[in-house]
Chains A and B, each alone.
Chain A
Amino acid sequence: MTQSGEPVIAVADLFKCYGDVKAVDGVSFQVGRGEVFGMLGPNGAGKTTTIEILEGLREPDSGTATVFGMDISKHAPSIKQRIGVQLQSVSLYPRLTVTELLDLFGSFYNHHLPTKQLIDAVDLGERARARSMELSGGQQQRLSIALALVNDPELIFLDEPTTGLDPQARRSLWDLVKGLQAKGKSIMLTTHYMEEAAELCDRVAIMDHGHILEMGTVAELIGRRFKERAIFFDTSLKLPAEQLGKLDGVTRAAVEDGQTVLYSSEVAGTIGALLALADSLSVEPHNLGIRQATLEDVFLDLTGRALRD
């Protein structure tokens, strides 16, 4: 999506400690109007703390955070009228129904959308009279999004919206987010699913240990690090690692999840050399394949660990 006008979120030099732990350690970024901005990182990276500062739920130790050009620590009530918030794994009043919860949360705002419209938007029509405790995980998550939309917000925060959902429920949530994006809403989300960030986000910030390591569009992030493509096959001890690194066109060799990955700027030459090497040692590389580098590769390259650790 295109960015226009002044950013809806502007964060500069944000710090937040919990005791000795620096949860957010000097974070700066901006989110443009109509943009879907994702924070990608493992658990404990500082994503949630950052987003909760922007939601007005936490005070930063230092740094500035503005939403709609207003300082969040000074104008929280008027900012809260205009943002929608979905928190990580929150259950709601368990004995209230979907309709009752939406009516209740609507009453907290100066302006709110009709409950019927919200229920239809998240496709909960058949469960409108069900108590929130009776909903499935995916339905609860959709209700939680409906509650975030109750005031027809300009900016929506989604903290790990699909964690713990089955693939089908995740897909349906992605469609929901894309629909919001199409309506011109600005969205900031956190996730530790690389494919989710790639699917939904215009721009991504990769975060770990309270720092933003890299920021940009998914294509930029990959292109910036990997001019190469990845050649992968099942790791076999018989192929000596030092020789693999010296094959034609290989810039780097790595072992990830039981697979050997060769990053190559010249795929045909590398594969030829690889097969020749294997042949000379009388072994055959299994499950050989080629792919573009992904966000996962970027993340591994940046942090040396997998996203879901």
Chain B
Amino acid sequence: MKTLVGLTVANLKSLTRDRAALFWTLFFPIMFVLLFGVLFSGSGGSKVTVGFVDQDGTTTSSGIRDALAADRSPLTLQIGSLEAEKAAMQNGDVSAVIVIPKGLEAAVAQTRTGHPASVAIQLYTDPSQTQTTQVVQVAVSSAADNFSLAVISGPGQSAVLTVTQLTLASTNVSTVTYLVPSILAMALMQLGVFAAVPLVQQREKGILKRIGATPLARWKLVASNILLRLIVAAVDTVLIIGVGIAAFNIQIVGNLALAAGFVFLGAGAFLAIGFMLASFLKTEEQATGVVQVVQMPMMFLSGIFFPFAFMPDFLRSVARLLPLTYLGDGLRQSMVNAPQVAPMAVDAAILAGWLVVCLAISARSFRWE
């Protein structure tokens, strides 16, 4: 145990004293978060699509509809039944659902005849989507207030139209919120794949051979490498999510234990890929080149920077072959409830498959000198 800790500390020191390695493992992903965060958080000017359910079906209710859909309103309405719109919200197609209840026109008529009555708009929003929810709430309550003021005759009278807040979890995820778990997935991928380089370097320099001449058991050498990368994975995770929260106010709403599971499973799977690469590469220069060839296409074809749903079909079938697609998907689902590419169990199973297969290949093919 003491040996294992000592070796891991030695590896950690080697890593932290290597400026280039430090840049790639820690600062590069954070740079990405900041860069993309700034790029995409500016897109708040566009309209928010909400579901509109008209249960009253009168000219009064269509008046409210027109007011909400007016040019200067921040909302775009999608009209449908309550079931359809709630489903749309859960799928992330609309950000909120506005329900005008039956009896609106009747209540207005009663109020006008001196018998004050009141009905409430039911507004379904997702509290995790702070920004959008706020926009919708403001728009709907001001529409309700304006409507009431037009109907009632003077102060002291209670409002004829009020708003009842209801919550419904949606899967509509803002761009930054989508990106943060994606960039975390990218960082974990790079962390694992890049592990091939120091391994090849240590073999080329004869460090592995020299350690082979000591009584140190080889499994400890392997274990300390894994331990090192998992520690860095944890640090990366905290930094990336921390920057996401601090700079862009992203909301982590998913299951944290599940997310942590994906972080370690993903780090493990890509580390196994790194070990496998190290088994077949001979020189450090070769390793640096091949590692880039492996990680670059994965970075851009795995739905990290744009949602899977936006990809053309042929890219989607490429993405389905790449392990990073499933790590990104698993992290997004477990952290921010993003729409899925595959069920989380499938994501986990595919990552575990890569882990086992690559580790088995490495165990057979890895050369110590």
Contact = CB atoms under 8 A, between A and B. Distances in A.
Given A90-B205, A93-B202, 16 more contacts: A56-B212, A56-B213, A80-B214, A80-B215, A85-B210, A87-B206, A90-B209, A90-B210, A94-B14, A107-B3, A107-B6, A108-B3, A108-B211, A109-B215, A110-B215, A147-B210
Contacts of B3: 107-108
A10 B215 CA distance: 21
A147 B206 CA distance: 14
B8 to A, nearest CB: 11
Interface of A: 55-57, 77-78, 80-81, 85, 87, 89-96, 100, 103-105, 107-110, 131, 147
B207 A108 contact: no
Contacts of B213: 55-57, 80, 85, 87
B10 interface: yes
A107 B6 CA distance: 7
Contacts, number: 66
A104 B6 contact: yes
A107 B2 contact: yes
Nearest to B369: A57
B72 interface: no
Contacts of A103: 6
A81 B215 contact: yes
A93 B209 contact: no
Given A103-B6, A104-B10, A108-B215, A95 B18 contact: yes
B197 to A, nearest CB: 14
A77, A85, A90, A108: which has the most chain B beta carbons within 10 Å?
A108
Interface string B300-330: 0000000000000000000000000000000
A77 B218 CA distance: 11
Interface string B1-29: 01100110010011001100000000000
B84 interface: no
B125 to A, nearest CB: 53
Contact of B209 (A87, A94, A105, A131): A87
B300 to A, nearest CB: 32
Contacts of A108: 3, 211, 214-216
Q: Helix, strand, loop or mixed for chain A's interface?
A: loop
B184 to A, nearest CB: 27
Contact of B210 (A56, A92, A107): A92
A94 B3 CA distance: 20
Given A107-B3, A108-B3, A108-B216, A90 B206 contact: yes
B214 A93 contact: no
B78 to A, nearest CB: 59
B14 A104 contact: no
A89 to B, nearest CB: 7
Given A104-B10, A107-B3, A108-B3, A91 B205 contact: yes
10 contacts: A57-B369, A77-B215, A80-B213, A87-B213, A90-B206, A91-B206, A93-B10, A94-B205, A96-B13, A108-B211
A105 B216 CA distance: 9
B207 A93 contact: yes
Nearest 10 CB-CB pairings of A with B: A90-B206, A85-B213, A95-B17, A108-B214, A80-B215, A108-B216, A107-B6, A91-B205, A95-B14, A104-B10
A80 B215 CA distance: 5
Contacts of B216: 108
Given A55-B213, A80-B215, A108-B216, A92 B6 contact: no
Contacts of B214: 80, 85, 105, 108-109
B14 to A, nearest CB: 5
Contacts of A81: 215
Nearest to A106: B6
A57 B212 contact: yes
A92 B7 CA distance: 13
Given A90-B205, A107-B3, A96 B10 contact: yes
Contacts of A109: 214-215
Given A80-B213, A95-B18, A104 B7 contact: yes
Nearest to A83: B213
Given A81-B215, A107-B2, A107-B6, A100 B205 contact: no
A91 B210 CA distance: 9
A89 B17 contact: no
Contacts of B212: 56-57
A93 B225 CA distance: 14
Nearest to B21: A95
B265 to A, nearest CB: 29
Contacts of A100: 10, 13
Contacts of B202: 93
A173 B356 CA distance: 48
Nearest to B205: A91
A95 B212 CA distance: 20
A129 B216 CA distance: 25
Contacts of A95: 13-14, 17-18
B7 to A, nearest CB: 7
A31 to B, nearest CB: 18
Interface string B193-231: 000000000100111011111111000000000000000
Interface in B161-201: none
